[in-house]
Amino acid sequence: MHLQEVVEAEGHLIDSHVMENIFDTVVEHHGRFEVEQFRIGRTNTEASYLRLKVEAPTAEQMGHLLQALLELGCGPVDAGDAVLRAVERDCCAPEDFYSTTNHHTLVRHHQKWIEVENQRMDALVVVADGRASCRRLRDIKAGDHVVAGMRGIRVVPEAKERDRLEFAFMSNTISSERQVETAVRQTAALVRHAREQQQKVVVVAGPVVVHTGGVQGLSALVRGGFVNALLSGNALGVHDAEAALFGTSLGIRVSDGRQEEHGHRNHMRAINAIFHAGGVRQAVESGRLRSGILYECVRANVPFVLAGSLRDDGPLPDTITDMNSAQDAYAAHLKGAGLVLCLGSMLHSIATGNMLPSWVKIVCVDINPAVATKVSDRGTGQAVGVVADVGMFLDLLAKALAPAGIASQS
């Protein structure tokens, strides 16, 4: 005998291919479905509605099916209030805790739907004093009440936006290299839109920004006030300082691309120079560091985070070597972001995507199309990939934004 549940979904179900994903999910979980009701939205703002009866052979399969459907914004009709369970020990959740997506989420509490705050993926939902918020597993404490099971939960995936700023490339996962100038122009419009909405523009960058000659472009963006925070690793800081102090990147002369004699030690000399100064800010204030991305950040009072890793040389005194602290610093600067530009760093791009709610746009620029694909595969479907040389992209983006103020400040 098959188990049955009635589920429902509402939103731009056709435009965003949500309805076909729902049907496919039922079939993939060895279930069956019957459409009981469907209303199609006829305007840009009118939502469609789907009511579906689903069947599964066993309770376990039904549980897996309902979980998968919930992530698509399709939940049980007879939800009732969300089930809350008390945490008995710090960092130890009940076995059936609900693990969040990065989409808008609501939970039903005392017959009222309340929106979950600080939305992010792979977290728990803690309910207290009539409010609900996402919290990481390592942050839950004994006595917290967390949402368990799948009842009383409503997920609202981001719909495909109709006519929003007319960005056709936003509907594509990967933009080919021949479309770089178009992608740059539209990214510049996204930057302006975020500023108009008083949202942050956050840059996540890898050392390839320096290696590909992107220092000047990113520096111009910082000077022009188009960057509200810079998130990166130790390597960006090291090679940015190396280029500023010795004119090389990985020992290669920035001016002509030729190997510098004994240039292999220049990045270590750069680290040493920053230590002698006492840190990046002190190096700028003392006049030892007179150019570069971090120099511009200090001058413009733009916060930067350098997250450490196992392979780091040095690291720089500003690098945060405790990974939990580095994650916390990233998350703090991502609050209020409307646009995140990920430039040539697979590790930091994926990590940042996992911290963001799905309504924050990500433009991921890399010469390797697999990077943008991996960012999207981690559940950050709002990411758009631009396959391009990062240095060239930054140079074009700085020029595209120049009329708004960069040219006069360069």
Instruction: Write out pLDDT tens, residues 255-282.
Output: 767 777 777 889 999 999 999 999 999 9
**Cβ atoms within 10 Å, residue 214:** 26
What predicted TM-score, i.e. pTM, was given to this entire model? 0.85
- Collect all residues with Cβ–Cβ distance below 8 Å to 109 and sequence separation of at least 6: 81, 82, 84, 127, 130, 132, 152
Q: For residues 305 and 284, is the Cβ–Cβ distance under 8 A? A: no
Residue among 18, 8, 24 at smallest CA distance from 160: 18
- Amino acid letter at 160? K
How many C-beta neighbours within 10 Å does residue 153 have? 22
β-strands 32-39, 304-307 pairing: unpaired
Average pLDDT over residues 141-157: 92
Say what the pLDDT of residue 405 is.
Answer: 46
CB 174 within 8 A of CB 369: yes
pLDDT tens digit sequence for 357-389? 989 999 999 988 888 777 766 555 577 888 899
What pLDDT does 402 receive?
86
Average pLDDT of span 152-165? 68
The whole-number pLDDT of residue 287 equals 97
Say yes or no to pLDDT of 167 above 60.
no
Structure tokens at 162: 């109709």
Q: Is the model's pLDDT at 90 over the cut of 90? A: yes
Q: Which of 149, 344, 160 is nearest to 239 (CA)?
A: 344
Distance from chain centroid for Cα 138:
20
pLDDT in tens, 205-219: 999 999 999 999 999
Q: Whole-number mean pLDDT of the chain?
A: 88
In the prediction, which pLDDT does 15 show? Answer: 74
State residue 106's pLDDT score.
93
Cis bond before residue 403 (omega within 30° of 0): no
What digits encode the pLDDT tens for the residues 300-359? 999 999 999 998 999 999 999 999 999 999 999 999 999 999 999 989 998 998 899 989
